[in-house]
Amino acid sequence: MTNRLRPLVAALCWVALAGCDSRPAPGGPCSAQPEGATRDACLFQQAQALAGDLDALRAYIGGVPEPVTRDLLRLRLVASSPSLYQPLCEDVSTAGAKTRCRRVLDRPHLGDPRP
């Protein structure tokens, strides 16, 4: 391989690898959408795709710029599956979300897997 081709191959590899990574980037495709129900639904859907990777999920939510939208996303996830998402309650920052999360964190049985 000549020296001239090396950067091109490297770039192609990077593109290929990035393309294979199905994890949404913070904000991801949703960030292009205007704030509103459609964007909320997009964020929720993208976040759910990260269910098995709490660190990645936290990073994804952290990439959402508005604190209220971040907390709304966290609460929706926790409410949809407390056993999966209960730890997200530790991250909420708005007063209303904290109050609601306290009700979840105080109830450890909500994290019990159901048959």
Partner 1 sequence: MRLIPLLASLVCCTSGSNTLGRHPDAEECAASPHPELAALCWLAVGTRAASRGQARQAEEACGAVEPELWRDECFFQAAEEVSMAGDLPVGLSFCGRAGFHRGACQLHLAWWARPTSLLEDEGPTPDRVEAALARIRPSLAALPPAEQAPAEALWATALWFDALYGSGRVDPATLEALPAVHGGPARTAFAFEAVRLARAAGDEPLATVAALMEGRAPLEGRALPRRCQGGLTSSPPGPDQRRPTTPVVHGGERLLAEDPGEDLIIASLEALAFHGGATPAALGAWREDPRPAPRATAARLLRLAGEDPGRLPEDPPWLDTWALGADPVEWYRSGDRGSLLCPG
Q: If binding is defined by CB under 8 A, does position 5 make contact with partner 1?
A: no
Q: Which of 2-10, 25-33, 52-60, 102-110 is the region at the interface with partner 1 (rule: CB under 8 A)? A: 102-110
Asked if residues 82 and 56 have their Cβ atoms less than 8 Å apart, the reply is no
Q: If binding is defined by CB under 8 A, does position 53 make contact with partner 1?
A: no
Q: What's the Cα-to-Cα distance from 32 to each of 13, 28, 61, 68, 73, rounded to whole Å?
A: 26, 8, 15, 18, 17
Residues that bind partner 1 (CB under 8 A): 35-37, 40, 68-69, 71-72, 75-77, 79-80, 82, 94-97, 99-100, 103, 107, 109-110, 112, 114
